[in-house]
A and B are shown apart, each in its own frame.
Chain A
Amino acid sequence: MTAVMQEAGAPFGAAPPSGDAIVTEGLTKRFRGGQVAVDALDLAVPRGSVFGFLGPNGSGKTTTIRMLLGLVAPTAGEYAVLGLPQAEALPKVGALVEGPAFYPYLSGTANLMRFDAADPYAVRGTVRRRVEEALERVGLSAAAGKRYRNYSLGMRQRLAIAAALLGPRELLILDEPTNGLDPQGTREVRALVKEIAADGTTVFVSSHLLAEVEQMCTHAAIMRAGRLVAQGTIASLNGGLVTRIRVETPDEPGAARVLGSLGLAEVRIEGGQVLAELGGHAPEQINAALVGEGVAVRGLAVVRPSLEDVFVGLTGEGFDVDG
């Protein structure tokens, strides 16, 4: 099980820049109590992706992130971040781990300066500018001089994201970045993640909110009780499940007949609605056909399978069941 290399002194970094930003092979963490937090995890996070790391609370997401950041030693398995030895990879990684943590008696600016000082690669001469830019980016400029103690929960979360953006990053690891944020803040974080990803930075976001990940991620992995349930592009994860069309109409039999004549499968009527598998049909043509046949259409929607459906389909249980 333990795949430890013998040539420990061999130089790493053979991975080309185009390789995966995060790779794990059989990564396992068993805590002293015997509890297995992460069980033989094989993860591959492509560079440039926005990768959603999903799972209910207690499914091993944070432990995995702690291992990737070198805070917790794996019991078995291997991992690589940016294809570099840890000391060289971490300065290029911005991280938000299990909520914000700062010095309550320092201001936002002083806190960021403190963490910048801990990074051996950070350039001292540019720290003022970088701190200002990071605060600006998360919308905290006005509160920069305020003590952290007096920050609201949302401001604390923003400051933690600012800390992750202090330097030029190739990988951003965000553990539950929208925790404690109001809907407005959540939208801002989502926009920020998209903006960062647009610059080519790989973003690894953990979340227990499936809908949130679906909205901003290109790839996802789903964890359950320490094990990987599935991973891939959002499209491929959804691929196993079909997209349906839903027609709201007072004339259910008429609509069902039209859908059937168009060749749609699995047509069924559900109290004021007609559902069918969309297949390769264009929704607008279906609409035109319905109207052409004199069927009154009150509403028409394409129902895409959500990650929640994927999760339920794979595990046979609801997503909010704690591991």
Chain B
Amino acid sequence: MSTAESATSTATRRTPGLVPVTETMRTTERTEEPATDHPAAGPSGPSAPSGRRSAARATWAFWRLLGSELGLTFRRPRNLVMLAVLAAVPVVIGVTLRLVGGSDDGMGGIIQAVAGNSLMLTFVSFSFLVLLLMPVAISVVAGDSIAGEAGGGTLRYLLAAPAGRTRLLAVKYLNAVVYAYAVTAVVALSALLTGLVLFPAGPVTLLSGTTIPVLDGLVRIAITVGYVGAGMAALAAIALALSTFTEVSIGAIAGTMVLVIVCQVLRAIPELGSITPYLLPTKFTNFDAVLRSPIDTGALADGLLTFGAYILLFGTIAWARFSGKDITS
């Protein structure tokens, strides 16, 4: 309290309580300031709890906002349709392979592998989906996250609530990550069920030729889901960053997809082999490391590090842009 008095007495021309411009944007984030010297917080207003109660309240409020966000995401028909489409793809692949494999004219590796074991369909499905269709779904949700609110005008009301810029961005990103894992899990589950119905269950033969028991196979599928989900979370960070630059969500979504496709094209050019390892989609397919014996943890760790770097980089870009942006929509 004494510091407050000395501050106001030294700054003579200053009206008490005025917030310096440089402070205003950032102080919005400081929701947990112990507010013991704010008698203005009367019984009608939000009380000014201090210390741990304030921190607990902030934590609950964060989960509440995330819950609201997840509720919106998972009730929105568009997002559910994308999940349904992605769930249908492994079924289509499974049925096709079953029909082709049934003709038994000595087809190549993939079909034999799948026809030989139900669990293999999961890996085949991921290698089909991970480079295009799954990124589309993740881009739509993450690219829409900030831009969609800005375009609809709801962003100004969320921030005036006040949601807090960093807090809102964190909630939006976590929401996109949950959706990314939901997409990944749905694909894996659909592929697993389809595989069990259409193909014989039993020990899995890996790429390296060794055979592992079913339980071990399931563990490897779980690892794949974890890895692919992390890759999609990295992609979500890019889409989120783009989303903070526009009020048109389709722009952020298309921008992310263009990036993904450009990366695929670059990977296809042999002369550019030196940059390929740094492109995000290159690491998406690293999940086949779980099909080695033993699991190629080096390749997985390499991919996860890349994902982490992308999340850090684009998360920072998103934060830097969003925390200082004038909201004029």
Q: Which residues of chain A have a CB within 8 Å of any CB of chain B?
A: 2-5, 7-8, 10-17, 19, 23, 25, 31, 66, 69-74, 76-80, 82-88, 90-93, 95, 97-99, 101-106, 113-122, 124, 163, 167-168, 170
In the complex, are the beta carbons of A79 and B18 less than 8 A apart? Answer: yes
Please indicate the chain B residues that have their CB under 8 angstroms from the CB of A168 in the complex.
Answer: 44-45
From the candidates B7, B65, B326, name the one contacting A118 in the complex (CB within 8 A).
Answer: B65
Q: Mark B220-254, 1 if CB is under 8 A from A, else 0.
A: 00000000000000000000000000000000000
Confirm or deny: B132 has a beta carbon within 8 angstroms of a beta carbon on chain A. Answer: no
Instruction: Say how far A89's CB is from chain B's closest CB, in angstroms.
Output: 9
Please indicate the chain A residues that have their CB under 8 angstroms from the CB of B5 in the complex.
Answer: 14
Q: Considering the complex of A and B, which 4 residue pairs feature the smallest CB-CB distances, nearest first?
A: A101-B153, A83-B17, A121-B46, A15-B17
Q: Give B21's nearest chain A residue, CB to CB.
A: A74
Q: Mark B18-45, 1 if CB is under 8 A from A, else 0.
A: 1111111101111101010111111011
In the complex, are the beta carbons of B159 and A5 less than 8 A apart? Answer: no
Please indicate the chain B residues that have their CB under 8 angstroms from the CB of A101 in the complex.
Answer: 152-154, 156-157
In the complex, are the beta carbons of B31 and A19 less than 8 A apart? Answer: no
In the complex, are the beta carbons of B25 and A13 less than 8 A apart? Answer: no
Please indicate the chain B residues that have their CB under 8 angstroms from the CB of A90 in the complex.
Answer: 28, 160-162
Bound: A90/B48 CA distance, A: 14
In the complex, are the beta carbons of B158 and A124 less than 8 A apart? Answer: no
Write 6 A-B pairs (CB below 8 A) sorted by A numbering: A10-B4, A101-B157, A104-B152, A115-B157, A118-B65, A124-B60
Instruction: Say how far B273's CB is from chain A's closest CB, in angstroms.
Output: 42
Query: Chain A interface mostly helix, strand, loop or mixed?
Result: loop
Please indicate the chain A residues that have their CB under 8 angstroms from the CB of B21 in the complex.
Answer: 2, 4, 73-74, 76-78
A17-B72 contact, Cβ under 8 Å, with A79-B19, A103-B152: no
Bound: A167/B326 CA distance, A: 26
Q: Which residues of chain B have a CB within 8 Å of any CB of chain A?
A: 3-5, 7-8, 10-11, 13-25, 27-31, 33, 35, 37-42, 44-46, 48, 57-58, 60-62, 64-65, 67-68, 72, 76, 152-154, 156-164, 167-168, 324, 326-328
A78-B68 contact, Cβ under 8 Å, with A70-B162, A101-B154: no
In the complex, are the beta carbons of B30 and A71 less than 8 A apart? Answer: no
Bound: A99/B57 CA distance, A: 31
Please indicate the chain A residues that have their CB under 8 angstroms from the CB of B46 in the complex.
Answer: 88, 91-92, 121, 167
Which of A14, A74, A122 is the most central at the interface, judged by chain B CB atoms within 10 Å of its CB? Answer: A14
Bound: A163/B160 CA distance, A: 11
Please indicate the chain A residues that have their CB under 8 angstroms from the CB of B28 in the complex.
Answer: 70, 86-87, 90
Bound: A82/B35 CA distance, A: 14
In the complex, are the beta carbons of A120 and B58 less than 8 A apart? Answer: yes
In the complex, are the beta carbons of A25 and B18 less than 8 A apart? Answer: yes
Which of B21, B58, B168 is the most central at the interface, judged by chain A CB atoms within 10 Å of its CB? Answer: B21
In the complex, are the beta carbons of A72 and B14 less than 8 A apart? Answer: no
Instruction: Say how far B27's CB is from chain A's closest CB, in angstroms.
Output: 5
Bound: A73/B4 CA distance, A: 25
In the complex, are the beta carbons of A118 and B324 less than 8 A apart? Answer: no
In the complex, are the beta carbons of A11 and B4 less than 8 A apart? Answer: yes
Q: Give A105's nearest chain B residue, CB to CB.
A: B76
Bound: A93/B167 CA distance, A: 19
Bound: A230/B47 CA distance, A: 36
Please indicate the chain B residues that have their CB under 8 angstroms from the CB of A77 in the complex.
Answer: 21
Please indicate the chain A residues that have their CB under 8 angstroms from the CB of B167 in the complex.
Answer: 120
Bound: A102/B149 CA distance, A: 9
Which of A91, A98, A101, A120 is the most central at the interface, judged by chain B CB atoms within 10 Å of its CB? Answer: A120
Which of B42, B60, B68 is the most central at the interface, judged by chain A CB atoms within 10 Å of its CB? Answer: B68
In the complex, are the beta carbons of A14 and B17 less than 8 A apart? Answer: yes
From the candidates B8, B68, B154, name the one contacting A14 in the complex (CB within 8 A).
Answer: B8
Which of A11, A19, A66 is the most central at the interface, judged by chain B CB atoms within 10 Å of its CB? Answer: A11
Q: Give B30's nearest chain A residue, CB to CB.
A: A87
Bound: A85/B162 CA distance, A: 12
With A72-B327, A73-B25, A124-B64 given, name 5 new contacts (CB 8 A).
Answer: A66-B156, A69-B160, A78-B14, A83-B40, A117-B68
In the complex, are the beta carbons of A170 and B4 less than 8 A apart? Answer: no
Please indicate the chain B residues that have their CB under 8 angstroms from the CB of A97 in the complex.
Answer: 156-157, 160
In the complex, are the beta carbons of A87 and B29 less than 8 A apart? Answer: yes
Which of A16, A66, A70, A98 is the most central at the interface, judged by chain B CB atoms within 10 Å of its CB? Answer: A70
Instruction: Say how far A138's CB is from chain B's closest CB, in angstroms.
Output: 16
Please indicate the chain B residues that have their CB under 8 angstroms from the CB of A5 in the complex.
Answer: 11, 14, 18, 20, 23
A115-B158 contact, Cβ under 8 Å, with A4-B20, A78-B20, A103-B152: yes
Instruction: Say how far B275's CB is from chain A's closest CB, in angstroms.
Output: 35
Q: Give A32's nearest chain B residue, CB to CB.
A: B326
In the complex, are the beta carbons of A71 and B159 less than 8 A apart? Answer: yes
Please indicate the chain A residues that have their CB under 8 angstroms from the CB of B326 in the complex.
Answer: 31, 66, 71-73
Which of A3, A86, A113, A163 is the most central at the interface, judged by chain B CB atoms within 10 Å of its CB? Answer: A86
A117-B15 contact, Cβ under 8 Å, with A101-B152, A168-B44: no
Instruction: Say how far B142's CB is from chain A's closest CB, in angstroms.
Output: 18
Bound: A83/B18 CA distance, A: 7
Please indicate the chain B residues that have their CB under 8 angstroms from the CB of A87 in the complex.
Answer: 27-31, 33, 162, 164
Bound: A321/B95 CA distance, A: 70
Please indicate the chain A residues that have their CB under 8 angstroms from the CB of B44 in the complex.
Answer: 168, 170
A78-B18 contact, Cβ under 8 Å, with A71-B327, A88-B38: yes
Q: Give B168's nearest chain A residue, CB to CB.
A: A118
